[in-house]
Structure 1
Amino acid sequence: MGLLTRREQRKEAAAPPPQHPAETYKSLALKALLAFLSQFASTIRVEDLYRTLNAARFFDHGEEPVEESAFERLVSIPRETRFDIILGWDLINYFRTDELAPLIRYIGRFCRPGSFLFAISSTLKEIPATPTNFKIQDAETLIYETGATRMRPCPRYVPRDLGRLMSGFHVRNSYLLRNGMQEYLFMRD
């Protein structure tokens, strides 16, 4: 998940060192992403949210209810931070409704009115078992690579679901792509 804010004057990137070809791709994609986004923001925070939560065994909670405090414990964002843009990519596909709503409430704390959240929702029955790697090639081209060969069921969120789950945000734009993905640009109320 990419988190951008303009107010601070330094660039930050916390990416794990490359371990194997998929990690190398992520590292190269991160460099390209940072180079592209540096044109628009003076501070960039990169958080591999899925990997962070997966390493902490967040997704193993079973039927226990998820509270915002779970994200507060696992994702340390300084209280004074305010994001202008959050690149959620396809992460919403990897959260159940009872997980997504508190995540959005937590992230919303760090957004000012008018902040953007970009997300991609799949309309397909199945998605790769892990999130897709995205790389911004240029202002008009987004390249994606699925690293997983296994598939899992997709929640197939429809606009009505997302309107309910994305508390404090509203849909600014939405585009249905030919590949079964729907891009959403949410704006903080």
Structure 2
Amino acid sequence: MQHRSFGLAALTTEMVKSGDRILDLGPLSSGTTQAFLQLNCQCHIEDLIEYLAENQSAEDPLAALEDHLLPKPAGLKFDVILCWDILNFLELDVIRHLVRLLQPHLKQGTILHTMRYTGRNQPRKPRRFRLLDNFCYEYIDDPEYPTVPSKGHSTVTLLKCMDRFSLFNSLMKREGMDQNVTEHFLEYDSVTSRNQVRSGGASDVSAYFRSVRDDERIEMPGVEKALATISESSGAPTMLECGRKNGRNIDALKKKVAALYVEDLHASLAWQKKLHGEETGFSTSIFSLDPGTRLDGVFLWDLLNYYSGAQIQQLGELLGQRMTPGATLHFVMYKSAQIPERPSTFEVLDDNRVAVTGISAGKRLRTLNSTADLMRLLPGYRLYGHHIGKLPTGEAFQEFVLQLKP
């Protein structure tokens, strides 16, 4: 069986830099250590598979863990910890003790990567991972690995015993992934908003495994106009990106602003609807930004096509409270009476062109009838740019750039 690790790909392509210190809690045989050595990282190995094999019947597994771990220099601080699937097979008190023993070597921002099994048929022993290519791993049933049934720890349970670690990203059910595996990124002593993009935090590394086709790229003058205005903002420009998280890469946007926040509005509103009913509005806490953050630009893409007039009005007011005067609001409106059944995926590329993918073949009726109707719902903004364009499928849309009035 094989598993494509989007998390480990993100670590090596986005998050880890030359000189970083890596603690690998798995065996050397996985092959990943070599990838980090090529990045000039310092790699330390603590084979906890060996610990499991030798201490299943230990009278004091916590003391046995202390004996197993190698002594480390007092000033050594790790940037990344690789746990593989090992936490699935450790008792909670052992995990708690492991974190306690590693604590002198953790620092604010230390990243821990782990894989959690979620299916009904939990493995009866840890899997041996062997790197093939492009961070696709082959599972090997190693007869020398100890038989230790998976404990089935939930994410919440796991976090409760991992003092000062918090969850900042999860990856699951992507193409090539084992559908019963969820990859988690945990961060130690995080002080950053869950919505702010750190390197590798929200960028969808599926772009690492695919290239954007020429017929997916389109010119969007409004995007260029909005980006140019944002970059001219005084101080460090800050942007909020509200498109779908899955299936796109936001690396190009990260390079264009000082601080990038993301919020999958479509998913957030769907969750609100599930909790509260059909005509749910936006929660005032939907945008989790760092205290004092003011936005210089917001990208909504095609989301407004799927909201009611009341929802658009409320969203405009909520965003306006968090934007600086003159900040830009970018979105597109479909021109046809029939629009795609669900939002598409928009990805800004390095050359400012936009890749549009995931366009639904199904159709639904458009709700907004005219530009005048739209502007009446957004009285706090003025029209700054207007363009006509076509999706890769040939469907026409209007591209709007608004500015928040002083």
TM range (shorter): 0.7 to 0.9
Larger Rg: 2
Q: Which of these residues, 177, 184, 187, is aligned with residue 400 of structure 2?
A: 184
Structure 2 counterpart SS, 1:39: helix
- In the TM superposition, what is the alpha-carbon distance from 1:61 to its structure 2 partner? 3.7
- Aligned-pair identity in percent equals 21
Q: How does 1:98-113 map to 2 (within 5 A)?
A: 98-113=310-325
Match for residue 168 of structure 1? 380
Aligned pair partner of 2:171 in 6, 14, 17: 17
Tell me which protein shows more strand as a share of its residues.
Answer: 1
1:39 aligns with 2:255: yes
Partners of 1:123 and 1:156 within 8 A in 2: no
User: Take 1:155 and 1:78, find their aligned partners in 2: how far apart are those partners?
Assistant: 34
Does 1:51 find its partner at 2:256?
no
Distance 2:307 2:350 in 1: 29
The reply to whether residue 29 of structure 1 matches residue 254 of structure 2 is no
Preserved CA contact (<8 Å) 2:247 2:345: no
The one-letter code sitting in structure 2 at the alignment partner of 1:40 is: K
Please give the secondary structure, in 1, of the residue aligned with 2:248.
helix
Deviations 1:31-59 (A, max 9, x none): xx2x2123321111011011011022169
Give the whole-Å Cα distance in 2 for the aligned partners of 1:16 and 1:166. 35
CA-atom RMSD in angstroms: 2.6
Decide whether the 8 Å contact of 1:174 with 1:183 is kept in 2: yes
Question: Which stretch shows the higher mean deviation, 118-127 or 78-87?
Answer: 78-87
User: Could you tell me which residue of structure 2 aligns to residue 4 of structure 1?
Assistant: none
Give the whole-Å Cα distance in 2 for the aligned partners of 1:114 and 1:58. Answer: 35
Letter in 2 for 1:29: R
Q: Distance in 2 between matches of 1:101 and 1:37?
A: 27
- Quote the offset at 1:103 in angstroms: 1.0
CA contact (8 A) 2:300 2:329 kept: yes
1:28, 1:63 → 2: CA distance?
28
Structure 2, unmatched stretches of 5+, are 1-167, 176-203, 208-244
State whether residues 15 and 46 of structure 1, in contact with CA within 8 Å, keep that contact through their aligned partners in structure 2: no
- What aligned pairs does 1:55-70 form with structure 2 within 5 A after superposition? 55-57=271-273, 61-62=277-278, 66=281, 70=282
Equivalents in 2 of 1:186, 1:58: separation in Å? 31
Counterpart residue type for residue 163 of structure 1: M
- 4+ long deviations beyond 3 Å: 23-28, 58-64, 73-79
Q: What secondary structure is seen at the aligned counterpart in 1 of 2:292?
A: coil
Counterpart residue type for residue 133 of structure 1 = T
Distance 1:157 1:88 in 2: 19
* One-letter identity of the residue aligned with 2:248: A
Asked if structure 1 preserves the Cα contact closer than 8 Å seen for 2:295 and 2:327, the reply is yes
Whole-Å Cα distance in 1 between the matches of residues 287 and 383 of structure 2?
Answer: 25
- TM-score norm. by structure 1 comes to 0.76
| Cα shift at 1:125 | 1.5
Single out whichever of 117-126 and 154-163 deviates more from structure 2.
154-163
1:88 aligned to 2:300? Answer: yes
Contact 2:368 2:374 survives alignment (8 Å):
no
Shift of 1:100: 0.7
Q: Flag the structure with more relative contact order, 1 or 2, with Cα contacts below 8 A and sequence separation at least 6.
A: 1
Deviation at 1:112, TM superposition (A): 0.8
Distance 1:48 1:80 in 2: 21
| Alpha-carbon spacing, 1:98–1:109, altered in 2? closer, same or farther (3 Å) | same
Q: Deviations over 1:111-152 (max 9, x none)?
A: 010111110111111222221101122334211113534322
The answer on whether the counterparts of 1:175 and 1:182 sit within 8 Å (CA) in structure 2 is yes
